[in-house]
């Protein structure tokens, strides 16, 4: 599966978004090293603060199925620029994806930004920081 195909998967994931409050659907597609794709969409709630972003939905689905070896993540939204993941998602991506893994950010116009996990969240708080 290449980058373009993964973006197409993210588009499909975006169609499943549950966004009655923001009306801002986001889709994510997470590729595992053995070629499986996990879709993620944002899922909102009347208690606004408990929204789950598309990126975290995809990652949590994979980890909950014992898939933890990731090769690429694509994210898409109807933004003017390729959609920038929020801080909470950057923290989760930084912990669970390889530092040099490619993250492909896209929008519906076809703009694409490629970035690595490390670039997305430099100087991240990490599990090593918990060691005394």
Residues that bind ligand DUR (CB under 6 A): 19, 22, 24, 26, 42, 44, 51, 53-55, 75, 83, 85-86, 89
What's the N-to-C CA distance of the chain in angstroms? Answer: 41
Token digits of residue 55? 């990126």
Q: Would you say 100 is a known binding-site residue?
A: no
Look at residue 82 and give its three-state secondary structure.
coil
So which residues are the catalytic ones? 55
Residues that bind Zn ion (CB under 5 A): 53, 86, 89
Instruction: Name the burial class of residue 12, with classes exposed (0-12), middle (13-18) and buried (19+) by CB atoms within 10 angstroms of its CB.
Output: middle
Based on CB atoms, which residue is closest to ligand DUR, 9 or 55? 55
Based on CB atoms, which residue is closest to ligand DUR, 1 or 86? 86
Name the binding residues for Zn(2+): 53, 86, 89
């Amino acid at each position: 599966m290449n980058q373009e195909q993964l973006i197409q998967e993210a588009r499909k994931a975006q169609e499943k978004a549950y966004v009655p409050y923001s009306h801002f659907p986001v889709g994510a597609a997470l590729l595992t090293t053995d070629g499986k794709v996990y879709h993620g969409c944002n899922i909102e709630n009347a208690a606004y603060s408990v929204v789950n972003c598309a990126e975290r939905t995809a990652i949590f689905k994979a980890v909950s199925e014992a898939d933890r070896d990731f090769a690429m993540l694509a994210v898409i939204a109807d933004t003017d620029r390729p959609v920038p993941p929020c801080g909470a998602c950057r923290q989760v991506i930084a912990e669970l994806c390889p530092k040099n893994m490619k993250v492909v950010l896209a929008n519906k116009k076809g703009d694409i930004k490629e970035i690595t996990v490390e670039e997305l969240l430099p100087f991240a708080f990490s599990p090593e920081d918990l060691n005394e």
